[in-house]
Amino acid sequence: MSNLLLFAQWLHIIGATILIGTGAGIAFFMLMAHRTDDPKLIAHVAHTVVVADFLFTALAVIVQPITGFWLAALTGWPIMTPWIIWSLALYIFIGLCWLPVVWIQLRLRNLARQSCETHSALPPEYYRLYRVWFALGIPAFAAILLIVWLMLAKSVF
């Protein structure tokens, strides 16, 4: 195995690890903050989650397709290989879930901040958006796990 191929694989695995780890961490901390029903805590955690999404998730979202196409070129896997097509389709699906999730996280943070400023309970919009945020996370997280499985089981296809 060439050093270049090993480096490309390493970058791709690091990117996948960041996507999975950041996604799981964000979900866990948002869930724990939400369960307190404390606007101050929710505002703080949601702010941190938004920063993490922009610093880590967004970078990994950019790196993954670059390293994926690079790996395909280095190994000779045609882009039209079924497991690659499925992986790309799932990646697009995840992106379609992630983009509204980022907007929802910003909105949840802002709603929690408003509740703090007005010394009021979280508004109904907060709870509605949280349910949508949670619902989008489940299929997106399942899809990323499926992509990892496809990468490992590629010889099956």
Query: Average pLDDT, stretch 75-101?
Result: 94
Residue 157 has pLDDT above 60, yes or no: no
Nearest CA to 139 among 88, 96, 82? 96
Residue 67's domain comprises 3-156
Looking at the chain, list the stretches that DSSP marks H as alpha helix, in order from N- to C-terminal side. 3-36, 39-52, 58-75, 82-118, 124-152
Query: Average pLDDT, stretch 60-88?
Result: 94
What value does the CA radius of gyration of the chain take, rounded to a whole number of Å? Answer: 18
Structure tokens that stand for 145 in this block:
């796990």
State the Cα–Cα distance between residues 4 and 1, nearest whole angstrom.
8
Q: pLDDT digits over 115-145, tens only?
A: 999 999 999 999 999 999 999 999 999 999 9
pTM of the model: 0.89
Sequence-separated contacts (24+) of 98-105 with Cβ below 8 Å: 98/57, 98/61, 98/136, 98/140, 100/132, 100/136, 101/133, 101/136, 101/137, 101/140, 102/50, 102/53, 102/54, 104/129, 104/130, 104/132, 104/133, 104/136, 105/30, 105/46, 105/49, 105/50, 105/53, 105/133
Residues 6+ apart with CB under 8 A from 37: 122
Query: Average pLDDT, stretch 74-81?
Result: 93
Residue 155 has pLDDT above 80, yes or no: no
The count of domains in the chain is 1
Looking at residue 156, its pLDDT comes to 60
Looking at residue 59, its pLDDT comes to 92
Q: pLDDT digits over 27-36, tens only?
A: 999 999 999 9
